């Protein structure tokens, strides 16, 4: 029986996990906020998942410049690049489920829990995490395992003024928003990389 709300507690019967490494490509993460730290944590998650027999799936954006297949920006960062035989799923939209084989692959593997990391926080991480919850997956967002452009971005307010938002604020808000979002029958957690638990 799974918990019916978002929680930082573990489920009583954990569903099989998979690690999703989203768009850790040169164009989206190459100059991301704390890029080296985030990449190092993701490398550790990949190695730990593989050692425990947890599936690892790379998502790779390939829609137009600078993500044209074969271009430098399209390349996954060398430190965490998939090896021969690793599963890479191409996508064309922010949502990793739209017009991709991700759902079929997860069904084939019997996965019910997604550990999500990668780039960019305010785009593909946000949309893929939300879609995973909607699709009924238990979700763990790696709090210190996603990144975005350094910024700042001018956030427009209702009165027409604009407030600059930096990457650190964007990451913190995304972590808060994901942890605060509940779906029936779905457990959502937001934890640091060191606290991620893979269920087999």
Q: Which residues pair with 43 in a beta bridge?
A: none
Q: Tell me which residue range forms the domain holding 69.
A: 17-195
Gap between the Cα atoms of 1 and 102, Å rounded: 25
Residue 5 covered by a domain:
no
Report the number of distinct structural domains present in the chain: 1
Query: What secondary structure letter does DSSP report for 76?
Result: B
Cα 53 versus chain centre, distance = 19
Render pLDDT for 126-154 as a digit per residue (tens, 0 to 9): 999 999 999 999 999 999 999 999 988 89
User: How high does pLDDT run on average in the chain?
Assistant: 93
| Cis status of the peptide bond prior to 117, with omega within 30 of 0 | no
Q: Give a yes or no: residue 1 inside a domain.
A: no
Tell me the pLDDT tens digit for each residue of 86-115: 999 999 999 999 999 999 999 999 999 999
Residue 178 sits in a domain whose CATH number is 3.40.50.850
Q: Cite the DSSP H helix spans in the chain.
A: 26-29, 35-51, 102-109, 126-134, 167-179
Name the pTM for this structure.
0.92
* pLDDT more than 70, % of the chain: 94
C-alpha 40/C-alpha 118 separation (Å) is 11
User: Using an 8 Å Cβ cutoff, are 39 and 57 in contact?
Assistant: no
Instruction: Give first-to-last CA distance, the chain, whole Å.
Output: 16
> Which residue in the block uniquely carries the two structure tokens 């999703």?
20
């Amino acid at each position: 029986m799974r918990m019916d709300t978002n929680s930082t507690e573990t489920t009583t019967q954990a569903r099989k996990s998979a690690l999703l490494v989203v768009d850790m490509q040169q164009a989206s993460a190459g100059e991301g906020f704390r890029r080296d730290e985030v990449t190092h944590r993701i490398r550790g998650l990949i190695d730990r998942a593989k050692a425990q027999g947890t599936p690892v799936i790379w998502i790779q954006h390939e829609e137009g410049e600078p993500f044209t297949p074969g271009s430098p920006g399209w390349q996954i960062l060398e430190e965490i690049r998939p090896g021969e035989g690793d599963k890479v799923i191409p996508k064309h939209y922010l949502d990793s489920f739209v017009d991709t084989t991700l759902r079929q692959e997860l069904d084939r593997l019997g996965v019910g829990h997604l550990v999500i990391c990668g780039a960019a926080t305010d785009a593909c991480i946000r949309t893929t995490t939300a879609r995973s919850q909607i699709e009924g997956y238990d979700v763990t967002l790696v709090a210190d395992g996603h990144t975005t452009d350094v910024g700042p971005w001018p956030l427009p307010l209702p009165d027409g003024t604009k407030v600059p938002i930096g990457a650190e604020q964007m990451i913190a808000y995304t972590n808060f928003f994901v942890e605060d979002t509940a779906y029936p029958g779905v457990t959502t957690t937001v934890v640091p990389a060191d606290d991620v638990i893979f269920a087999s």
